[in-house]
Amino acid sequence: MARYEIYVTYKQGIFDPPGATAERALKNLGYEGVEEVKIGKFIRMSADATEASVAEMCDKLLANPVIEDYRIEIVEGD
Amino acid sequence: MARYEIYVTYKQGIFDPPGATAERALKNLGYEGVEEVKIGKFIRMSADATEASVAEMCDKLLANPVIEDYRIEIVEGD
């Protein structure tokens, strides 16, 4: 059993609506120093699976490879 | 200007519907080894703001402190 952390982010140049909304909202709240906000997914998984298999899960279901990048980190091995 | 990475996760014991859905879908796709999937947010922010100020932004807007925890990391200082 391994624990994985997966970071899913929009690819460079892809518009990020939740991030843009948060950015505007923070500025409206008075946080003028906010420059850019990007919101992605932080997935934690416990699985009896190899990293290659987790990458496959990302491609098939957890991320949209057309518009998103992902990075997989093994937090804890067997 | 600093760059922050913020990890927003459901608090212990709070039901995570997207995570539960992904978990079931992965099992249905044949990934029997998947034990648990938790889906949170991965926020990247560039801001001219202190870490205390970013924590305030989390409490007010980026996270829901009633059901979510967050962790702030400074990626790059001034």
A57 touches chain B (CB under 8 A): yes
The number of distinct structural domains making up chain A is: 1
Alpha-helical regions (H) of chain A: 17-28, 51-57
Which residues constitute the domain of residue A67? 2-76
Grade residue A76 by pLDDT with cuts at 50, 70 and 90: confident
In this prediction the ipTM stands at 0.91
User: H/E/C letters for each residue in chain B?
Assistant: CEEEEEEEEECCCCCCHHHHHHHHHHHHCCCCCEEEEEEEEEEEEEECCCHHHHHHHHHHHHCCCCCEEEEEEEEECC
| Residues of chain B with C-beta less than 8 angstroms from the C-beta of A38 | 43-45
pTM: 0.92
CATH number of domain containing A68:
3.30.1280.10
- pLDDT of residue B77 exceeding 80, the answer is no
| Of the candidates A37, A49, A35, A54, the residue with the CA atom closest to the CA atom of residue A78 | A49
For residue range B33-53, what is the model confidence (pLDDT) as tens digits?
999 999 999 999 999 999 999
Residue A78 clears pLDDT 60, i.e. is over it: no
A40 touches chain B (CB under 8 A): yes
